[in-house]
Structure 1
């Protein structure tokens, strides 16, 4: 039986200790200590890529988990992300992280509407360490601006990042636009699925599960130049039924209808405060957005996964789940003439399973 070497175990323990130190600094919103932790690791000889991915990225992953479990507020999550971004910036300026470009040129960007820029920034810094010249465009890059940049930069490839699945229709448009000018596209981020299934579905030229995998893929050789006569409808012929288009265009009206219907279907809703009603509107908006995206992709599992995740988040915040089934039921009634939409909503209701009775006074 093989065991880990003492040096490897020592390295793993050192990485864990650094991640713990960074986590404590992030929790305390202590930017200076967080930066010191990162720079000290470099001074002590730790590889910049290890600090980026096994320390900073690992801590950021914990930030997301703590928010989902209601142990961090939205404000704390935003502050933690800002500190992580500053830590990455400090690392990038350190002499240990300076690498002369020896490879080609890569553009790294987030798809339009995607505000979670840290994964893309981490990828950009890792690619620089591997000798690429990188144009990092940041969060929320509209496709026309991305294409204009590509015309000026002569990039060898584009790396597109998206963390939220509802950005996938926009990502598809960006992928197609890049390929139309013969620039291959590598995609990554949680939006594209755990095994990259949505990357393949949307016709991306390559997918990577993380920054290391992306760097390794690009190091193996250039991505093939795509054909320029590709049409998005060729990837998703089910879009011909127009269900996605109709749901997406009427999303605001659907949210209003469900919101109004909840007062009858879920009597406790009548006693909600104004803040609770605002939160309900946000939740309903996300539900309709994920329904539309599931219709776009032709994948009901995307919607059921979102619904069960939503139930987990609501439970962690003490919000009664009794409003979810009637919300989905009202939506299904409004979309009764759309077979794919109603089937998807029925799957969502079934995924919730039996909902326990509400606890007295336990409102959002």
Structure 2
């Protein structure tokens, strides 16, 4: 008698799936998933122990500049095909209530949320997946028309936390329990707690939390922590000015931008906007670590692309000088500058 399928089967399949993603071999990836299901490996395991970690590795390859954006997009598309195929093979009849799964407005990383939705479906929920970047007004209208037991919202980037909070507050008015997830809510869900909303670290935890009697979702629906404030609003209003100030600083000698092409300047302008958005989000939840982590991640990405990080330090200095009357933002910028000048040892 053959042994029951286990995590070992998925572990052995992992390098094969990575090879399929690297070669853009959709048929190979689909055959692999079907073979695992035929061997008795559970659909949830294929999704969470194979597809999810492979997609995380794809993100690492992009971050280290080992893969191009085109390769990352091709791999993500194949992962989505595998998820659809697994979902098609395992279609249990729902016996629980309806759960709506969506990404917050501006969030385009939909695959993690899709995985959560499929796991909930496997656990017996009737799931409606609304996909990437759902505007708050349209989500509210949908909730009013369709009775739901819960709403699951995904956010991958902490710079989207202010938008996430606005959506959470709007959805609370629809009297629907809310669960959030994704790296955008910080390590251990620290920024979800700042927004006063229930958080799950992964799809399995989300399913367990939704199924638990007297769920913590209800406990987290009270008034949220005081966040945002006048400084956040004023900082958002200075976004365009801050980008212009930084661009002027980066035009100075020694900034490492001599010979930049128009495409490089476009990318730089976009990066400056992201830094302002991360700073604003840090001010919103009053947490310097949010901004420091964003700055360090930016430097890692630039280093991988052989782009000097001198411009980042100059940018933070320019922002700091401009925002002297913004106490939180100015303090966070000082912390960010120190983190770049004196990085923590291994």
Q: Structure 1 length as normaliser, TM-score?
A: 0.89
* Stretches of structure 1 lacking an aligned partner (at least 5 in a row): 1-6, 356-364
Of 3, 14, 29, the match for 2:24: 29
Larger deviation, residues 217-226 vs 309-318: 217-226
Q: Which residue of 2 aligns with 1:297?
A: 285
Q: Which residue of 2 aligns with 1:277?
A: 265
Of 330, 342, 345, the match for 1:342: 330
Q: Which residue of 1 aligns with 2:39?
A: 44
Given that 1:70 and 1:316 are in contact with CA atoms closer than 8 Å, whether structure 2 keeps it comes out as yes
> How far apart are residue 104 of structure 1 and its match?
1.0
Q: Structure 2 length as normaliser, TM-score?
A: 0.94
RMSD: 2.0
Q: Distance in 2 between matches of 1:329 and 1:132?
A: 51
Of 157, 167, 170, the match for 2:160: 167
Q: Which residue of 1 aligns with 2:173?
A: 180
> How far apart are residue 324 of structure 1 and its match?
1.3
Of 234, 248, 252, the match for 2:236: 248
Q: Distance in 2 between matches of 1:317 and 1:62?
A: 18
Q: Distance in 2 between matches of 1:62 and 1:229?
A: 38
* Stretches of structure 2 lacking an aligned partner (at least 5 in a row): none
Within a 5 Å distance, the mapping from 1:57-76 to structure 2 comes to 57-76=52-71
Q: Which runs of 4+ in 1 moved over 3 A?
A: 222-230, 265-268
Within a 5 Å distance, the mapping from 1:13-162 to structure 2 comes to 13-94=8-89, 97-162=90-155
> CA 1:105 to 1:316, structure 2 compared with 1: closer, same or farther past 3 Å?
same
> How far apart are residue 271 of structure 1 and its match?
2.7
Q: Which residue of 2 aligns with 1:11?
A: 6
Of 288, 303, 307, the match for 2:295: 307
Q: Distance in 1 between matches of 2:92 and 2:255?
A: 62
Q: Distance in 1 between matches of 2:294 and 2:242?
A: 18
Query: 1:129-170, CA deviations, whole angstroms, 9 ceiling, x for partnerless residues?
Result: 000011111111111111111112110110001101111111
Query: 1:252-299, CA deviations, whole angstroms, 9 ceiling, x for partnerless residues?
Result: 221122101222263532332222222221221111110111111111
Q: Distance in 2 between matches of 1:146 and 1:292?
A: 24
Larger deviation, residues 245-254 vs 180-189: 245-254
Q: Which residue of 1 aligns with 2:182?
A: 189
Of 254, 275, 278, the match for 1:287: 275
2:250 is the counterpart of 1:257: no
> CA 1:130 to 1:332, structure 2 compared with 1: closer, same or farther past 3 Å?
same
Number of residue-to-residue matches in the alignment: 341
Q: Distance in 1 between matches of 2:311 and 2:263?
A: 16
